[in-house]
Amino acid sequence: MAAFVQHRSCFAARLLLSRYPQSRLLSTDALVELKPGEIGIVSGIPDEHLHRRVIIYSPARTASQQGSGKVGKWKINFMSTQKWENPLMGWTSTGDPFAHVGDSALSFDSKEAAMAFAEELGWDYLV
């Protein structure tokens, strides 16, 4: 049984290679090189968020922080858009989907890495 399966798999491989030349199977013609700032176009991010301005900063040490665990990290935070006070609870509300992204998600080991990430997505940034 094993010999039959091995024979069939070799036959399938030969058939595939005879129909499609090896140069086409391993072709890199389908790869597209993107310039800095163009990756946002194919990322699925809505157009109104592609040209936003972000702030790149290194957070200050908290008052109760003793060690150097959180020191030296760099974060990206989006400049906030319109906010309003919710009349029901008195909380501050916003319609911005990226309002709190930088607080927890976008953290980098260096300023250069954060700047490269912002440039790759086409965001204007302020350090």
The predicted structure's pLDDT at residue 24: 52
User: Largest Cα–Cα distance in the chain?
Assistant: 75
Q: What pLDDT is stored for residue 97 in this prediction? A: 73
pLDDT at 113: 93
Q: Is the dihedral of CA 116, 119, 123, 125 positive or negative?
A: positive
Segment holding 92, helix H or strand E: strand 92-94
First to last CA, the chain: 67
What is the rounded distance in angstroms from the CA atom of residue 105 to the CA atom of residue 83?
21
Low-confidence ranges of the chain (pLDDT < 50): 4-5
pLDDT tens per residue across span 82-114: 778 888 888 887 777 777 676 667 888 899 999
Residue 103 carries which side chain, given as an amino acid letter?
D
- Cα dihedral across residues 13, 16, 21, 25: positive or negative: negative
Q: Three-class SS of residue 124?
A: strand
SS3 state at 55:
strand
The rounded percent of the chain whose pLDDT value lies above 70 is 50
For residue 44, give both structure tokens: 């699925």
Does pTM top 0.75 for this prediction?
A: no
What DSSP element (H or E) covers 57?
A: strand 53-57
